[in-house]
C-alpha cells in the first residue's frame, strides 16, 4: 500500500490519541509519550532495512511536538 494512502490514516489515529491524552492524562505522561515517539522514530531512521521514505523523521517531529504540548499543559 503506498504511503500516500497510509499517511492520512496514521495522522487521524495519532491526532485522536494526542487529543485524548491531552484531555485525560497528566503532563508527565504526555511528555513521556512524546519521548517514546521520538525514540521509535529515531530507531526507524537508523535502521538500514526500513524503507519508509522519511516517515521516521515525521514521527520524530511529532514526538517533539507532543513533548512540548505536555510541557506546556498546566
Could you tell me where the beta strands, DSSP code E, fall in 1-74? none
pLDDT of 50 reads 73
**pTM score of the predicted model:** 0.69
Give the residue carrying C-alpha cell 491531552. 22
Q: Write the pLDDT tens digit of every residue in 34-66.
A: 898 899 888 888 887 877 777 788 888 888 888
Distances from the Cα of 9 to the Cα of 16, 29, 59, angstroms = 11, 24, 14
Amino acid at each position: 500500500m503506498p504511503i500516500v494512502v497510509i499517511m492520512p490514516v496514521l495522522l487521524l489515529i495519532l491526532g485522536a490519541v494526542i487529543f485524548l491524552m491531552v484531555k485525560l492524562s497528566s503532563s508527565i505522561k504526555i511528555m513521556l509519550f512524546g519521548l517514546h515517539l521520538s525514540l521509535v522514530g529515531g530507531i526507524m531512521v537508523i535502521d538500514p532495512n526500513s524503507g519508509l521514505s522519511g516517515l521516521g523523521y515525521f514521527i520524530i517531529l511529532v514526538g517533539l511536538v507532543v513533548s512540548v504540548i505536555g510541557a506546556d499543559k498546566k
